[in-house]
Every structure is written in C-alpha cells, then in structure tokens.
C-alpha cells in the first residue's frame, strides 16, 4: 500500500508540459518583426513626398553640375577659337570615338570649319587601332587633311613599335607628317633609355617616310623631359588649362580641349589649333 501511495503522489506532483510555450515564443518574435516592418513602411509612406523631393533634388543637382561643367567647357572652347581667328582647326580621333559619320564632320561651334584630323594608327609594338582603316579612308573622302599617330609605350621595344607603324600607315601626297605620341614615363628603364628609344623610333620612321616626324606630348612632359634633347623636332602640345588662352609661339599644334562636341562623332572629342592658316598647313604636308 505504501508503494502505491508514493507513486500516486509522484504522479500528482509531475505537471504536464505546455505544448504551446515553444510556439507562443516564436509567434511573439514573428509579431515583433512584422510590427517593425510595418512601422518602417508606414514612416516611409508618411514622408514619401520628402524622400521623393530629396532624391529628385540629388538627381537634378547631378544633372545641373554636369550641364554647368559642359557649359563652362563650351564657353572656353568658343573663347579659344575666337582668339585664333584665321588659324586652321582640326581634331584627333581613335577607336574610343567609336564609328564616326565622316559625312557630318564639318565644323565646330557651327562657325569654325575643320581643316585637318590626326588619326591613331598604332599603339606599342602589337596594337593597331580598330577604327584606323575606316577613319583613314573616311577623312580622305571628307576632304580633310589627315595625319596618323603612334601611341608610344616606353617599356616596349622602340624599333618594333616603329615597324608596326610603318607596316600599318601608308602616307600619300597631301598627308601630314607622322606623329609620335609620348605621354607616360617608363617603369622598367631610365629616362636616358627612354630618350634613346624615342630617338630610334623617330629616326626609323623618318628614314622610311623621308619626312621628319612631329612629337605629341603634354606641356609639362615637354618642359621636363623633351625640350632640350629634342629641340630639333616640332611639337604638338596638349594643355587644357584655363590660364592658357593662346597657342605657344614654338608650338606647331595646340590641343586645347578634350571636351568638344562635333556633329557625326558620339561623345567628346579633342580639338587642335595649327599655328598658321590652312595654306601654311598644306605647306608642311608630304609632297
């Protein structure tokens, strides 16, 4: 009898587990999450006009800044062109301008006729510009005085670069002299070695075309590295600074902007001024 009574008491003391305790805790957490989600969307809906205004303002501000930068660039371009009335104006293009409709390439700012164009032909010792052949022919058909340039890579063999240019570019009577474009400093050689390589390229190209090449570079690069050692060459100088209003006396060409718009060309394009009129420009072309 005693054992039975103990078992009965033990059974009475043990309480059955509540099956809903686990699910009720999970339900509570889920309810809290839903509450905060609804609160977030509620606040967003309440202040929707403010958010839309802010986003619209930011978008408008970005568009305004871009338009203002373009307007300032256009004003400078017009002022520079005004300061060079009578000078020959031209472009330089490469594959980065995509496919050009040469039949529409006639003038800039609707007032200044384009007389010439430099076209990138090659880069380094293994790269032919994808649009060179098309641009070369298109410029000729559009009766623009054309020239070809090579983008020089300092860390690649200079004679191989010269041979690639020679193989790619077939200059004709009325074309401009070949151009060597040097913009970067070497990483794997000294400046003296760079100068030696540049001179090798220039001499090889001159020997082939029987005309002295032109050198393109920035004004700073010219002053710091090329002015003294290449004084017997003519230079095409890039300088986009607002303080520069006129072409340098000793510059053959001046690239004064990289942000011009020309009908027939998508996006921005570089514009250049020759230090003379169109008749003087023809005088330096290949005979």
Per-range mean pLDDT, top range of 29-33, 135-139, 259-263: 135-139
Residue 83's domain comprises 65-283
The answer to the question of residue 50 being in a domain is no
pLDDT, average across residues 225-251: 95
For residue 80, name the pLDDT band (cuts at 50, 70, 90): very high
The predicted pLDDT at position 264 comes to 96
Provide the whole-model pTM.
Answer: 0.77
Classify residue 39: in a domain, yes or no.
no
Predicted local confidence at residue 4, as pLDDT? 47
- Domain assignment present for 117: yes
Q: Is 45 among the domain residues?
A: no
Residue 149 lies in a domain: yes
Is the residue at 48 inside a domain? Answer: no
Q: What is the per-residue DSSP string for 25-81? A: HHHHHHHHHHHHHHHHHHHHHHTHHHHHHHHHHHHHHHHHHHHHHHHHHHHHHHHHH
pLDDT at 233 over 60: yes
Distance between CA atoms of 162 and 164, rounded to whole angstroms?
5
Residue 37 domain flag: no
Length, in residues, of the chain: 287
Spatial separation of the C-alpha atoms in residues 168 and 216, rounded to whole Å = 19
- Total count of domains within the chain: 1
Percentage of the chain modeled with pLDDT above 70: 79
Q: In the predicted model, what is the mean pLDDT of the chain? A: 86
Half-sphere exposure of 142 (CA within 13 A, CB side): 24
Distance CA 109, CA 264 (A): 13
The first and second tokens of residue 6, run together, are 């103990």
Q: How far apart are CA 15 and CA 23, in angstroms?
A: 19
Check which CATH number belongs to the domain holding 195 and give it.
3.20.20.80
> Which of these, 98, 149, 111, lies nearest to 127 by C-alpha position?
149
The answer to the question of residue 260 being in a domain is yes
């Amino acid at each position: 009898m005693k054992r039975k009574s103990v078992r009965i008491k033990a059974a009475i003391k043990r309480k059955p587990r509540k099956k809903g305790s686990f699910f009720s805790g999970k339900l509570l957490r889920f309810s809290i999450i839903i509450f905060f989600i609804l609160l977030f969307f509620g606040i967003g809906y309440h202040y929707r006009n403010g958010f839309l205004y802010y986003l619209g303002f930011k978008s408008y501000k970005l568009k305004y800044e871009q338009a203002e930068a373009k307007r300032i660039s256009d004003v400078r371009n017009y002022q520079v062109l005004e300061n060079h009335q009578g000078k020959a104006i031209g472009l330089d293009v490469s594959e980065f301008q995509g496919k050009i409709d040469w039949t529409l390439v006639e003038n800039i700012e609707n007032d200044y006729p384009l007389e010439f164009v430099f076209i990138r032909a090659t880069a380094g010792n293994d790269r032919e510009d994808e649009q060179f052949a098309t641009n070369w022919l298109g410029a000729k058909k559009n009766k623009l005085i054309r020239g070809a340039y090579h983008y020089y890579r300092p860390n690649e063999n200079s004679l191989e670069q010269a041979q690639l240019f020679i193989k790619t570019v077939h200059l004709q009577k009325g074309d401009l002299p070949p151009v060597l474009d040097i913009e970067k400093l070497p990483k794997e050689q000294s400046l003296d070695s760079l100068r030696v390589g540049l001179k090798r390229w220039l001499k090889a190209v001159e020997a082939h075309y029987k005309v002295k090449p032109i050198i393109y570079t920035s004004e700073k690069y010219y002053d710091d590295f090329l002015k003294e050692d290449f004084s017997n060459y003519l230079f095409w100088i890039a300088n986009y600074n607002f303080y520069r209003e006129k072409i340098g006396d000793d510059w053959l060409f001046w690239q004064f902007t990289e942000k011009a718009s020309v009908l027939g060309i998508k996006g921005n394009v570089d514009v250049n001024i020759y230090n003379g009129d169109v008749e003087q420009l023809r005088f330096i072309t290949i005979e």
